Structure 1
Amino acid sequence: MPLIPVKTPKVIKSIFPNYVWNIDTTEKVIYLTFDDGPTPQITNWILNILNQYNAKATFFCIGANVEKYPDVFQGILNENHRVGNHTQHHIKGWKTKNKAYIKNVEKAQKVFELNLQNSELRIQNLFRPPYGKITFKQGKTLMALGYKIIMWDVLSFDWDKSITQERCFNNVTSKAKPGSIVVFHDSVKASKHMMYTLPKVLEHFSKKGYSFKALEF
């Protein structure tokens, strides 16, 4: 198991108080998020499962993938889910100079806007840094440009092949609570664990009276 915690510690949240880690609420709501798509078949499969539970989610898309699969991206919008920016090329902030990083984010944002087509939705300036790696300067610059940086409260670890599918499921069900922002991935790498875990998570929390909403500010 990696050293990264499933549940984000309060001390980390306190160091970056201007980032969104969870939604402060007592309402039984969980905010599912999906990173790294859109991906043919996988993203569409997720949309179908979410629809079965009347669940809404937020998809943090890679700009290059939106360019490759605009129809899949449009499918997300058609189902009234939200989309956020995950950079154009899934780059690591810690290894990228500030100017180049911001340019990559802005490139992705332009791709999203060009692919809105006839959707009634408008792209919010939601941003999640790939790998969760972003420098203070990059974060400050993006926030000055109007972006809201969305992190997470719970990681499913669906991409981690060293854990079992049951562990992936337990990561979410044991740690998520009202207002939690949970991370899944609509990627090929994460698909096996995600496809096992997501329906079970939806069923588990639905039975407990939870609903699933997209992030909106």
Structure 2
Amino acid sequence: MYFINAPFFLRWYYPNVTFNRPRTAKKVYLTFDDGPIPEITPSILDTLAEYGIKATFFCVGENIERNPDLFARLLAEGHRIGNHTQNHLKGWDTADEVYLDNVARCQQLTKTSLFRPPYARAKKSQLKQLYKNFEVVFWDVISGDFDTAITPEQCYQNVIKYVQNGSIIVFHDNLKAIPRVSYALPKTIDYLLERGYEFDVL
């Protein structure tokens, strides 16, 4: 189960997490989780380059190690990097010491001030420690591109239904997401540009 639009109770439970940027400016923030991987990250980068858009990539450390040239391309093209743990760990199922060490391993590669817990599932005890060094970022719109039960069009509709000023939008550069992100990302960008939105990094 996942929520396309971050509900009130989630914001209440995680009061120190960033769900969106200020609503005053007509800006949105594209973010991508789980990469970089050769099967989809280059295509996403090509799409962003075509539109002249910068995004924020929450990278998994082991994928950085497997694909250093792709990670170098992310940096060279001006995208912002976030920490998404070394091995895409679910914090709820992981001892605090193990989880925090895993984040630290990824941090050696990412050297960032942004962290997003995989699955949006981290214990408050883990987050308490992470707040000391990171802005912990969730989202207020998640595309659902990882969900193989939805169509690419449904993925696109998920985004445009809830997007507003300051929205942090999540797509994924992982294998499951490929059919949906490939379809929905350019359509989403076109939709938002037509309505006067600007794109920025976190």
The alignment's TM-score, normalised by the length of structure 1, stands at 0.91
**Structure 2 counterpart of 1:44:** 42
Runs ≥4 residues deviating over 4 A: none
Count of residue pairs the alignment pairs up: 202
Counterpart of 1:139?
127
Range 78-87 or range 42-51, more displaced: 42-51
| Secondary structure of residue in 2 paired with 1:162 | coil
Q: Could you say what secondary structure the match of 1:173 adopts?
A: helix
Cα distance per residue 1:83-103 (max 9 Å; x no partner)? 000000001100100000000
Question: In structure 2, what residue type is equivalent to 1:139?
Answer: L
Shift of 1:41: 4.1
Q: Does 1:214 align with 2:201?
A: yes
Contact kept in structure 1, 2:144 and 2:171, CA below 8 Å: yes
**Deviations 1:140-176, CA, capped at 9 Å, x for gaps:** 01112x1111101011000111111111000001101
How far residue 111 of structure 1 moved from its aligned partner, in angstroms, is 2.4
Distance 1:95 1:5 in 2: 20
Q: Secondary structure at the match of 1:189?
A: helix
Alignment of 1:82-121 (within 5 A): 82-112=80-110
Letter aligned with residue 49 of structure 2: N
Alignment of 1:102-181 (within 5 A): 102-112=100-110, 123-144=111-132, 146-181=133-168
Gaps of 5+ in 1: 113-122
Structure 1 window deviating more from structure 2 (97-106 vs 33-42): it is 33-42
Cα deviation, 1:170-201, whole Å, max 9, x if unaligned, reads 00011010100011001111011000000000
Q: Structure 1 residue 59: deviation in Å?
A: 0.2
- Please give the alpha-carbon distance, in whole angstroms, between the structure 2 residues aligned to 1:73 and 1:86: 14
* Match status 1:73 vs 2:71: yes
- Cα RMSD (Å) of the superposition? 1.0
Query: Which residue number in structure 2 is paired with residue 120 of structure 1?
Result: none
Work out whether 1:193 is the aligned partner of 2:191: no
In the superposition, the TM-score normalised over structure 2's length comes to 0.97
Residue aligning to 1:116:
none
Matched residue, 1:56: 54
1:184 corresponds to which letter in structure 2?
A: F
SS in 2 for 1:190: helix
Structure 1 residue 14: deviation in Å? 2.2
Query: Matches of 1:8 and 1:38 in 2, distance apart?
Result: 25
**1:10 CA drift (Å):** 2.1
Tell me how far apart the structure 2 counterparts of residues 125 and 100 of structure 1 sit (CA, whole Å): 20
**Distance across 2 between alignment mates of 1:140 and 1:151:** 15
Residue identity opposite 1:109 in structure 2: Q
Distance 2:150 2:14 in 1: 29
Point out where structure 2 has 5 or more consecutive residues left out of the alignment. none
What is the Cα deviation at residue 28 of structure 1?
1.3
| Counterpart check, 1:202 vs 2:200 | no
- Separation in structure 1 between the aligned mates of residue 27 and residue 20 of structure 2, nearest angstrom: 11
